[in-house]
């Protein structure tokens, strides 16, 4: 068994999440589809611990294994190797209907032959709850998702956003220990999606239920999650709070997948304990955290976020000399594509003040400067 967790799971900033007990644990879980030539390793020794009451997001590009991991927690797929624990107990052998876990499907999968209320009642009825309790809970759920007026409609007679709410209410009604959500917002238009993001966050806080949320939208992941696991090719690359993932990406993939970023070739100059000095193009130096393996003389990749770059007319300070290649006006921000003397390109994003964007024109000679703390190095 490979030990992965230790190196990628950094301590969380809000000590809160780590203090709570583990709710879902994947222990070195692998999933192989097919066999022989068509063998496909959808998950490769994935280990992750999701804590009680967390809003945990699985983020990654299409085909990286997010749905597969979710379906294994729900019980629709079984691990080829490894174990899945729920609230401390190994559930690998339990069928879906014995797991206190509910799913909000991407297609919603609302039962077309039942009403809104009938859909919400389904799980409770299957659990054999008394009729009075079922009726009470259904009322409460309808109120919670603000669908009281629609209780007797068939699910084909309500809008997409309303179906989304019913799917949520149906999955929350039996009060599962964990709610799994597989890209539940991807079918909604932008405005509705923003509304539902807030709504989801509210429901999670209100119910205190552990949410495992799947998305390939990095912005959605950053705004909603307590912690994010970034996945690629069946592996988890980094686990951390949105802030950690964004500010301290572990590797090239995470850095480029989450938000925009600039990559710069750098060399390690000196090292003192965890930290060290790195030399950037144009002779600039920066102080930053280094990974264990890095020693003076090593070539490393450094990253800097576009919004951490300042753009000033040439000669005003000690920045990287560059010329403006393209200017893109984005409303709240202006984006400058800068060409360094070495030919490398940098993107800077500058917030527009009340008087509009700073008056720089294409071809202008500028300097791009940044706080020494804004630079990070990547592991690979």
**Residues found near another protein in the complex (CB under 8 A):** 74, 76, 95-98, 101-103, 105, 107, 109-113, 122-123, 126-127, 156, 170-171, 174
Here the tokens at position 346 are: 């940098």
Q: CB-wise, 30 or 197, nearer to ligand ATP?
A: 30
Question: In this chain, which of 3, 6, 11, 62 binds ligand ATP, going by CB under 6 A?
Answer: 62
Segment 17 to 76, residues that bind Mg ion, using CB under 5 A: 67
Residue 126 or 198: the one with the smaller Cβ distance to another protein is 126
Q: H/E/C letters for each residue in 1-27?
A: CCCCHHHHECCCCCCHHHHCCEEEEEE
Which span sits near ligand ATP by CB under 6 A: 61-69, 114-122, 124-132, 137-145? 61-69
Q: Say whether residue 12 binds Mg ion (CB under 5 A).
A: no
Q: How far is the CB of 30 from another protein (least distance, A)?
A: 21
SS3 114: coil
| Site membership for ligand ATP, residue 238 (CB under 6 A) | no
Q: Is 56 exposed, middle or buried (0-12, 13-18, 19+ CB in 10 A)?
A: buried
Distances (CA, A) of 49 to 19, 280, 285, 374: 12, 37, 38, 30
| Distance, CA of 240 to CA of 230 (rounded, Å) | 9
| CB-count exposure of residue 283 (10 Å: 0-12, 13-18, 19+) | exposed
Shortest spacing between CB 130 and another protein, in angstroms: 15
- What track of x and - describes contact with Mg ion for positions 243 through 262 (by CB under 5 A)? --------------------
CA–CA gap between residue 227 and residue 224 (Å, rounded): 9
Contact pick of 27, 165, 170, 216 for ligand ATP (by CB under 6 A): 216
Assigned token pair, 192: 């509705």
The size of the interface with ligand ATP (CB under 6 A), counted in residues, is 13
Among 51, 66, 165, 376, binds ligand ATP (CB under 6 A): 66
Q: What is the rounded CA–CA span in Å between residue 90 and residue 84?
A: 6
Listed residue (183, 186, 111, 174) closest to 141, CA to CA: 174
Which of the listed partners (another protein, Mg ion, ligand ATP, none) does 170 bind, with a CB threshold of 5 to 8 Å by partner kind? another protein
| CB 345, CB 338: distance < 8 Å | yes
Of these partners, ligand ATP, Mg ion, another protein, none, which one is at the site of residue 112 (CB under 5 to 8 Å by kind)?
Answer: another protein
Query: Integer distance in angstroms from the first to the last C-alpha of the chain?
Result: 23
Closer to Mg ion by Cβ: residue 60 or 306 = 60
Work out what residue 51 binds among Mg ion, ligand ATP, another protein, none; the CB cut-off runs from 5 to 8 Å by kind: none
Positions that interact with ligand ATP (CB under 6 A):
33-34, 40, 42, 60, 62-68, 216
Question: Can you give the binding site for Mg ion, defined by CB under 5 A?
Answer: 67
């Amino acid at each position: 068994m490979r030990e992965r967790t230790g190196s990628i799971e950094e301590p969380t900033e809000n000590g809160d999440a780590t203090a709570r007990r583990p709710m879902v644990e994947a222990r070195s879980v692998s999933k192989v589809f097919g066999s022989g030539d068509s063998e496909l390793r959808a998950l490769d020794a994935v280990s992750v611990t999701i804590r009680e009451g967390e809003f945990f997001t699985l983020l990654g590009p299409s085909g990286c294994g997010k749905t597969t991991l979710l379906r294994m927690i729900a019980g629709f797929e079984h691990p080829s190797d490894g174990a899945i624990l729920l609230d401390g107990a190994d559930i690998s052998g339990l069928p879906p209907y014995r797991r206190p876990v509910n799913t909000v499907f991407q297609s919603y999968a609302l039962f077309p032959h039942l009403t809104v209320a009938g859909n919400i009642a389904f799980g409770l009825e299957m659990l054999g709850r008394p009729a009075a309790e079922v009726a009470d809970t259904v009322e409460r759920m309808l109120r919670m998702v603000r669908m009281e007026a629609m209780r007797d409609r068939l699910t084909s007679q309500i809008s997409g956003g309303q179906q989304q709410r019913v799917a949520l209410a149906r999955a929350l009604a039996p009060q599962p220990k964990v709610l799994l959500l597989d890209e539940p917002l991807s079918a909604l238009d932008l405005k509705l999606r923003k509304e539902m993001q807030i709504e989801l966050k509210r429901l999670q806080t209100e119910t205190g239920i552990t949410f495992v949320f799947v998305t390939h939208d990095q912005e959605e992941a950053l705004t909603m999650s307590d912690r994010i696991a970034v996945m690629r090719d069946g592996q988890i690359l980094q686990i951390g709070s949105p802030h950690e993932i964004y500010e301290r990406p572990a590797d090239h993939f995470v850095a480029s997948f989450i938000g925009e970023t600039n990559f710069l070739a750098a060399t390690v100059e000196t090292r003192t304990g965890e930290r060290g000095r790195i030399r950037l193009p144009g002779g600039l130096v920066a102080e930053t955290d280094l990974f264990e393996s890095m020693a003076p003389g090593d070539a490393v990749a450094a990253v800097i976020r576009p919004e951490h770059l300042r753009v000033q007319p040439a000669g005003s300070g000690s920045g990287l000399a560059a010329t403006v290649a393209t200017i893109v006006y984005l409303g709240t921000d202006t984006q400058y594509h800068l060409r360094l003397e070495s030919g490398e390109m940098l993107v800077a994003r500058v917030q527009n003040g009340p008087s509009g964007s700073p008056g720089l024109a294409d071809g202008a000679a500028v300097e791009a400067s940044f706080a020494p703390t804004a630079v990070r190095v990547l592991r690979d």
